Amino acid sequence: MADLDPHSRAAQAVHDHRPVEAQYVRQGRRGTRIVWVLAISLALAALVTFGFWAARSPDLTATEQTPAQERGVARAWAQPAPAARQAPEPGESRAPDGQPASAR
């Protein structure tokens, strides 16, 4: 049985109802080919990620406000709130029952 290839050894052991050695039934192979495939895949994934980031970077920086813009927003919030009206203006919509909203 020494001249049989690994597949034949495993097949013969199954046929004889003997346990099959683990080295003959493992699916993956080791070697430099697998390392190259993994390294190239990792490099391509990094390149695609960097490409998407570079394409979106103008959009990301556009959302940040400059200090002058921040001061303008702060000034708008610092203004006092307008006074509340007590009665609706003529021609404004009324509540569903026909009464002005302030008459309730």
Q: Reply yes or no on whether the pLDDT at 1 is more than 60.
A: no
Q: Domain coordinates of the chain in residue numbers?
A: 1-28, 31-62
CA dist., res. 57 & res. 104, Å (int): 54
Q: Looking at the predicted structure, is the pLDDT value of residue 63 above 60?
A: yes
d(CA 5, CA 56): 54
What mean pLDDT is predicted for residues 68-86? Answer: 79
Among 5, 45, 1, which residue's Cα sits nearest to residue 24? 5
As a whole number, the mean pLDDT across the chain is: 78
Round to the nearest angstrom and report the end-to-end CA distance of the chain.
Answer: 101
Alpha helix stretches (DSSP H) within the chain: 6-15, 22-25, 32-62, 67-78
Tell me how far apart the alpha carbons of residues 71 and 77 are, in angstroms, rounded to a whole number. Answer: 10
pLDDT band at 49 (very low <50, low <70, confident <90, very high): very high
Taking the CA atoms of residue 11, residue 16, residue 20 and residue 21 in that order, the dihedral angle to the nearest 10 degrees is -100
pLDDT: which is higher, 55 or 28: 55
